[in-house]
């Protein structure tokens, strides 16, 4: 049966996830509900599975081909074009993972020895990568705007004026699930351009959104295109993080020249099977993704309904994107609410402080799991919160 004839309906199954023997569902005791690790409990896209099986059948276990001979740059260019960014395959470079791409971009494409501005809360590894490249982090907490969390442009500009050389942005924002609005991105681009800085933007969660528009940062205008370095991957939305492959999209021609002059060891390490999976996902995996998004939307609604019914709607904001719920549990514990939840409810979630100083007292809940598992986890979490209220 061809891939086109295969049903694209995913299977949501925790036991299948356990049998994988990967980090999700293998870290804690069997009674713990793991809603912390950023993977989905979903069967892979048939297009991806078929492509990887074909590659395994031909024993494609050698070193990866050069970028120009791979299908990934063309597939990435087509995918980015559908999102609104016009870039040819000559602007795409393959790296093992998003964080490698970001590290190389900081080290090689920003002014030497300059600090990195990081809006927070954000992906935990962002706070590690700058020090590993010998740079200082300047955390700038998101502020509450009329549409939810948004960039604090005034303080970002202050940091750039003080000498910072780049902004490391996650959009859509992991963990809060917001999509940065175009007007904020345009204002950021103007500020960055004025200070001769760069924006390194991780857009890995862009495919996982719920009817909200998304504009790639580099597609905003010519200034953004010139100072942007875009890093993305199919491994998150199509759920194969172990097949290590990511893409750096270079819309500045000078950046391409610099990148191509780097030593092989600095950028190498992508998996040949991951490259095959990536091209298949981007070119043929959209029917599967649409089906997954329907289930994720239903899961998001389940979180909303349960929180509303428990009188806890004020503890979170419905996310525009990602499969994360960002819960304000400062009332439970202002420093380590995830640890308290694990101890009292047997539900593992992400500790907010790990996402930056602005995340203290919050937790990240991965709702990409079957409804009965999510419902049980929410019941346990809500029970802990209500028990605290009765004790008070």
Q: What's residue 389's pLDDT?
A: 55
Question: pLDDT-based confidence at 5, cuts 50/70/90?
Answer: very low
Verify that 194 and 109 share a domain, yes or no: yes
Domain count, the chain: 2
- Cα-to-chain-centroid distance, residue 35: 16
> Residue 17 is part of which domain span?
3-44+286-391
Mean pLDDT over the full length of the chain? 95
Q: State the CATH number of the domain containing residue 297.
A: 3.90.1150.10
3-state secondary structure at position 215:
coil
Verify that 304 and 381 share a domain, yes or no: yes
Question: pLDDT-based confidence at 229, cuts 50/70/90?
Answer: very high
Verify that 153 and 261 share a domain, yes or no: yes
Structure token digits, residue 79: 């995918």
What is the percent of the chain with per-residue pLDDT over 70, rounded to a whole number? 97
Token pair 């992400």 in the structure block, residue: 350
Question: pLDDT-based confidence at 231, cuts 50/70/90?
Answer: very high
pLDDT tens, residue by residue, 234-245:
999 999 999 999
pTM (2 d.p.): 0.95
Verify that 53 and 39 share a domain, yes or no: no
List C-alpha distances in Å: 114 to 102, 109, 188, 298, 337.
15, 11, 18, 44, 34
Q: State the CATH number of the domain containing residue 148.
A: 3.40.640.10
Verify that 274 and 310 share a domain, yes or no: no
User: Which residues have CB under 8 Å from 291's CB, separation 6+?
Assistant: 8, 9, 10
User: Which of residues 284, 305, 333 is at a domain's end?
Assistant: 284
User: Which of residues 244, 267, 284 is at a domain's end?
Assistant: 284
Verify that 257 and 272 share a domain, yes or no: yes
Verify that 370 and 223 share a domain, yes or no: no
Q: Please state, in angstroms and rounded to a whole number, the distance separating the CA atoms of residues 34 and 29.
A: 10
Whether 121 and 356 have beta carbons less than 8 Å apart is answered as yes
Q: Please state, in angstroms and rounded to a whole number, the distance separating the CA atoms of residues 32 and 118.
A: 33
Check pLDDT > 80 for residue 390. no
Verify that 173 and 308 share a domain, yes or no: no
3-state secondary structure at position 325:
strand
Verify that 108 and 249 share a domain, yes or no: yes
Q: What's residue 21's pLDDT?
A: 87
Q: What's residue 388's pLDDT?
A: 64
Check pLDDT > 80 for residue 17. yes
Verify that 380 and 331 share a domain, yes or no: yes
pLDDT tens, residue by residue, 174-213:
999 999 999 999 999 999 999 999 999 999 999 999 999 9
Whether 180 and 151 have beta carbons less than 8 Å apart is answered as yes
Verify that 107 and 162 share a domain, yes or no: yes
Verify that 231 and 316 share a domain, yes or no: no
Whether 97 and 242 have beta carbons less than 8 Å apart is answered as no
Query: H-type helices in 209-319, by residue range?
Result: 222-227, 253-260, 264-267, 272-284, 286-309
User: Which of residues 284, 312, 332 is at a domain's end?
Assistant: 284
Q: What's residue 391's pLDDT?
A: 52
């Amino acid at each position: 049966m061809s891939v086109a004839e295969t049903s694209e309906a995913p299977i949501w199954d925790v036991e299948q996830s356990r049998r994988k023997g990967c980090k999700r569902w293998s870290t804690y005791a069997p009674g713990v509900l793991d809603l912390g690790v950023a993977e989905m409990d979903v069967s892979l896209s048939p297009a991806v599975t078929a492509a990887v099986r074909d590659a395994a059948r031909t024993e494609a276990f050698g070193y990866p081909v050069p970028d120009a001979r791979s299908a990934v740059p063309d597939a990435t260019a087509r995918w980015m074009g559908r999102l609104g960014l016009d870039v040819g395959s000559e602007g795409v470079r393959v790296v093992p993972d998003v964080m490698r791409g970001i590290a190389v971009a900081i080290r090689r494409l920003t002014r030497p020895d300059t600090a990195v501005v990081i809006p927070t809360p954000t992906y935990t590894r962002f706070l590690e990568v700058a020090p590993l490249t010998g740079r200082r982090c300047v955390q700038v907490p998101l502020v509450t705007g009329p549409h939810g969390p948004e960039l604090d442009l005034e303080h970002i500009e202050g940091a750039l004026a003080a000498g910072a050389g780049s902004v490391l942005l996650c959009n859509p924002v992991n963990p809060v699930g917001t999509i940065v609005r175009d007007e904020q991105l345009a204002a950021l681009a103007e500020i960055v351009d004025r200070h001769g800085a760069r924006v390194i933007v991780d857009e890995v969660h862009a495919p996982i959104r719920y009817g909200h528009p998304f504009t790639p940062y580099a597609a905003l205008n010519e200034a953004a295109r010139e100072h942007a370095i875009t890093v993305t991957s199919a491994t998150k939305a199509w759920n194969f993080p172990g097949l290590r492959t990511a893409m750096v999209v270079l819309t500045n021609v000078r950046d391409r020249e610099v990148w191509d002059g780097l030593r092989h060891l600095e950028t190498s390490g992508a998996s040949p099977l991951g490259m095959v999976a990536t091209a298949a996902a981007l070119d043929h995996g959209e029917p599967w993704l649409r089906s997954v998004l329907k289930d994720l939307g239903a899961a998001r609604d389940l979180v909303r309904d349960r929180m509303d019914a428990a009188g806890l709607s004020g503890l979170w904001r419905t996310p525009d994107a990602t499969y994360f719920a960002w819960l304000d549990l400062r009332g439970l514990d202002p420093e380590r609410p995830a640890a308290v939840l694990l101890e009292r409810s047997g539900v593992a979630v992400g500790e907010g402080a790990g996402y930056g100083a602005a995340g203290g007292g919050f937790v990240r809940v991965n709702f990409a799991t079957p409804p009965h598992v999510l419902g049980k986890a929410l019941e346990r979490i809500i029970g802990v919160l209500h028990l605290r209220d009765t004790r008070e």
